Amino acid sequence: MPDDFALLDNHLAFLAAHRGEVLRSAEAIEVVGESDEFSAWIPLSSTAELPTGTSAVRLVPWSGAGWAARLTAAGFEPAEVLVHMEAPAGAAEGELVEAINSEADAVGFAEVQGAAFLEVGEPDYDWWQKMFVERAVQNYRAPDQSLYLLRVDGDPASCTLVFRTASVAGVYAVATKPEYRGRGLATALLAQARRDAAGGRLTLQVVEGSDAERLYLNLGLRPAFRSPHFRRP
């Protein structure tokens, strides 16, 4: 596989650890998420057979030609496009941030995720909050991961995690509570992620056209490849 497949591999490893299960074959990859939001079938060949009942398909550069037309004919519609980005090599600036090392900080990490990503009263709010806590507690001591949490006056304020596979460090769960945004906390955490990736590659994923994409472009990251999603209505 080309070098950029290592970036996809890192993302799949994160999904397997934090969002569900990843099943691989020579023809395709299936992500079975604990939430349908993360479930998708990823073809790795233009001749792969679309499984019956599939509701979400994600294309990557190694999927082969013709899939957009094939999916449209099968009743799928274009959805979001995920952009895999990569940071340029270079030294990180700013103060060192230590990875969390306690269950209390893991719970604080999950608290920030919930405040940043969820709206009180939305469907499955309680399920997501519980899942965030379970995954943070499960993973904060894993040797291939570093979970980071910044507090402001003792309050959990901003978080991210770095997931390492081979020579790639992937940045995930970048989140800041609304009341603490604009203080450079996420930028400080990204600098720590760049330290983690020293001598290797640093990658993250954002939705194409989003504010997050514009932020990371301004920070010097550049697109490595696009991953269009298709969903059944």
Of the options 1.25.40.10, 3.40.630.30, 2.160.20.60, 3.20.20.140, the CATH number for the domain spanning 103-199 = 3.40.630.30
* 8 A C-beta contact, residue 119 and residue 128: no
Q: Where in the chain is the domain with CATH 3.40.630.30?
A: 103-199
pLDDT band, very low/low/confident/very high, at 141 (cuts 50, 70, 90): very high
Q: List, in sequence order, the alpha helices (H) in the chain.
A: 5-18, 67-73, 103-117, 125-139, 185-196, 211-218
Mind listing the pLDDT tens digit for each residue in 61-73? 999 999 999 999 9
Mind listing the pLDDT tens digit for each residue in 158-209? 999 999 999 999 999 999 999 999 999 999 999 999 999 988 999 999 999 9
pLDDT band, very low/low/confident/very high, at 89 (cuts 50, 70, 90): confident
Q: Residue 1 pLDDT > 70, yes or no?
A: no
Residue environment code for 59-85, b if the CB has 16+ CB neighbours within 10 A, otherwise e: bbebbeeebeeebeeeebeeeebbbbb
